Amino acid sequence: MWENLDRPPLDGRALTRALVEGPRGSWSRVDVVARTGSTNADLLAVADTAGDRTALIADVQDAGRGRHSRSFTAPARSQVIVSALVKLPGVPPGSVGWLPLLTGVAVVDVLRTVTEVDAVLKWPNDVLIRGDESSGYAGGKVAGILVEVASTHPVVTAVSGVGINVSLTEAELPVPTATSLQLAGAAVIDRGTVVRAFLRAVGSALDEWRESGWDTAPIAELYRSRCDTLGRRVRVTMPGDTELVGVATDIDEHGRVVIVPESGDTTPVAVSAGDVTHLRALDA
- The Cα 137–Cα 279 span in angstroms is 23
* Per-residue model confidence (pLDDT) at position 167: 97
* Per-residue model confidence (pLDDT) at position 63: 74
Q: What is the arrangement of strands in the sheet containing 278-281, beginning at the earlier edge strand?
A: 269-271, 257-261, 242-251, 233-238, 278-281
Question: What is the amino acid identity at position 208?
Answer: E
CA 170 to chain CA centroid, nearest Å: 21
* Per-residue model confidence (pLDDT) at position 93: 84
Question: What is the amino acid identity at position 135?
Answer: S
| pLDDT tens readout for residues 32-68 | 999 999 999 999 999 999 999 999 999 999 876 555 4
Helices vs. strands in the chain: H and E counts, helices first = 5, 14
Q: What is the DSSP string of 7-21?
A: SPPP-HHHHHIIIII
Quick one: what percent of the chain has pLDDT higher than 90?
Answer: 85
* Nearest residue to 213 (alpha-carbon basis) of 86, 27, 54, 89: 89
Query: Comparing 115-119, 194-198, 204-208, 277-281, which segment has the lowest mean pLDDT?
Result: 277-281
The mean pLDDT of 190-209, rounded to a whole number, is 98
| pLDDT tens readout for residues 88-121 | 999 998 899 999 999 999 999 999 999 999 999 9
Share the mean pLDDT of the chain: 93
* Per-residue model confidence (pLDDT) at position 57: 98
The mean pLDDT of 217-236, rounded to a whole number, is 97
CA 95 to chain CA centroid, nearest Å: 17
Say what the pTM is: 0.93
Q: Is 189 helix (H, G, I), strand (E, B) or coil?
A: coil
DSSP-assigned letter for residue 59: S
Q: What are phi and psi of 70, to 5 degrees?
A: -65, 135
| H/E run at residue 221 | helix 217-226
* Per-residue model confidence (pLDDT) at position 47: 97
pLDDT band at 2; cut points 50, 70, 90: very low
Q: Is the pLDDT of residue 74 over 90?
A: no
Strands 79-88 and 119-122: unpaired
The answer to whether residues 209 and 219 touch, using CB atoms and an 8 Å cutoff, is yes
* Nearest residue to 219 (alpha-carbon basis) of 43, 91, 82: 91
Q: Which residue has the higher pLDDT, 25 or 221?
A: 221
pLDDT band at 3; cut points 50, 70, 90: very low
The mean pLDDT of 180-188, rounded to a whole number, is 97
